[in-house]
């Protein structure tokens, strides 16, 4: 086999003016990976590993269509061979999945009704008793009589996970801080058998239309819909048995649904999002009732980056010593990172769970589950405070008043 040589700086510059076709770029990606997997034997003597990685990143940006910043961030998450599997998985859509609404139907009966309409489907997996994977359908799956009657919700398998981890019980008070379009809210209501209370909050008023419509269609009667910035909790309302925060994120786990993420996310976006996530998670924690038999908070994102996941959880643990991470109860997924590129996280971070499109055939996702141990938080030997949210909105309000003067 002919030895592979990296392009010279002159060739790289020429390619910027006259790019290679995608087949040639793909072949070069494969060759670079082959060299990196046996670097001592196959490398060019005068070339460093960094040079091979730089060319690989350049070629993968061009081949898969990512900006350099995001490609670098995602490449760091995986060994080289697995990184290619991840990027390839982002090029194909995940299977369509639906969740049986147990307030109105049983999965067996729903499956039979859809099969009678010619739908080809199977249960998602052993981890869920309500999910079905739809392989193909001669009728629009969002327009069947069963759909209209609220027997099921079209919902990504990954978005079942935070509710399974939350495990709401009958007659509890539950807060869904970022609820639209209602998949998780209505799943909570079904698990609670329409008892207790689910407060379905969303900061985006436009998205609330879909939330309200789904609540009505699925026959949910224990939900209260509100429109607050999540950071206003618990001043608005607190004392919840369980709080679910499926936080706004970069969407790096759902690139197969939204390819624009490849190019429109940069350092400023991640800085803004992680600040918001940290403020929201503190508000979520402070909204939970430690005196409840539950006192559970679940944090989730549809992102795979460490900045939005482990780093946010670590921040919460450092700012709220009255919480601890507990097992998510999810029987699969990969443990969260306890160390990453020289940075160490709390050893309990291994209790969090990561999900990847190439490994689990679902959207990239992250789930962390906390138990709140007490309402008060010790700050000095003889001083305790009761935290009441991030305070972000209060600061904003003060600024607005100054502008009006």
CA dist 227 → 179, 387, 389 (Å): 10, 22, 17
CA dist 319 → 50, 222, 281, 298, 314 (Å): 38, 33, 10, 17, 9
Q: Is position 302 annotated as part of the catalytic site?
A: yes
Instruction: Return d(Cα 218, Cα 130) in angstroms, integer.
Output: 14
DSSP tag of 74: H
Instruction: Return d(Cα 191, Cα 189) in angstroms, integer.
Output: 6
Q: Tell me which of 61, 188, 249, 302 is the catalytic residue.
A: 302
E strands, 143-216, in order: 152-154, 173-176, 197-201
For the chain, the residue count is 405
Q: Phi, psi (5° rounding) for residue 323? A: -130, 160
Catalytic residues, by residue number, are 302
């Amino acid at each position: 086999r002919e030895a592979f040589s990296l392009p010279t700086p002159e060739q790289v510059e020429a390619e910027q003016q006259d790019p290679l076709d995608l087949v040639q770029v793909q072949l070069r990606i494969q060759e670079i990976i082959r060299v990196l997997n046996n670097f001592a034997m196959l490398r060019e003597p005068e070339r460093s590993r960094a040079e091979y990685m730089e060319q690989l990143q350049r070629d993968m940006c061009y081949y898969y269509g990512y900006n350099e910043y995001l490609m670098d961030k995602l490449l760091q998450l995986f060994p080289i061979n697995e990184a290619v599997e991840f990027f390839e998985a982002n090029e194909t859509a995940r299977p369509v999945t639906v969740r049986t609404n147990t307030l109105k139907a049983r999965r067996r009966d729903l499956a039979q009704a859809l099969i009678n309409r010619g739908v080809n489907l199977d249960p998602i997996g052993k981890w869920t008793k309500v999910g079905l994977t739809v392989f193909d359908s001669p009728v629009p799956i969002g327009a069947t009589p069963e759909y209209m009657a609220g027997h099921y919700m079209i919902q990504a398998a990954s978005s079942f996970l935070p509710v399974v981890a939350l495990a709401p019980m009958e007659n509890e008070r539950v807060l869904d801080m970022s609820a639209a379009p209602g998949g998780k809210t209505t799943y909570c209501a079904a698990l609670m058998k329409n008892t207790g209370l689910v407060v379905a909050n969303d900061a985006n008023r436009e998205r609330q239309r879909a939330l309200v419509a789904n609540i009505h269609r699925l026959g949910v009667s224990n939900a209260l819909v509100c429109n607050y910035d999540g950071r206003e909790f618990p001043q608005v309302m607190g004392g919840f048995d369980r709080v679910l925060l499926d936080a706004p994120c970069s969407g790096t786990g759902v690139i197969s649904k939204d390819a624009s993420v490849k190019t429109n996310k940069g350092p400023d976006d991640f800085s803004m999002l992680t600040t918001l996530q940290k403020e929201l998670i503190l508000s979520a924690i402070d909204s939970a009732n430690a005196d409840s038999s539950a006192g559970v908070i679940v944090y989730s994102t549809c992102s795979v980056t460490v900045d939005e996941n482990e780093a946010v959880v670590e921040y919460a643990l450092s700012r709220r010593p009255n919480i601890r991470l507990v097992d998510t109860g999810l029987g699969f997924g990969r443990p969260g990172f306890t160390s990453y590129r020289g940075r160490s996280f709390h050893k309990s971070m291994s209790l969090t769970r990561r999900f990847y499109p190439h490994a689990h055939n679902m959207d990239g996702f992250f789930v962390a589950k906390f138990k709140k141990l007490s309402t008060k938080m010790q700050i000095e030997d003889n001083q305790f405070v009761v935290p009441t949210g991030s305070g972000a909105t209060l600061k904003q309000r003060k600024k607005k008043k100054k502008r009006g003067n």
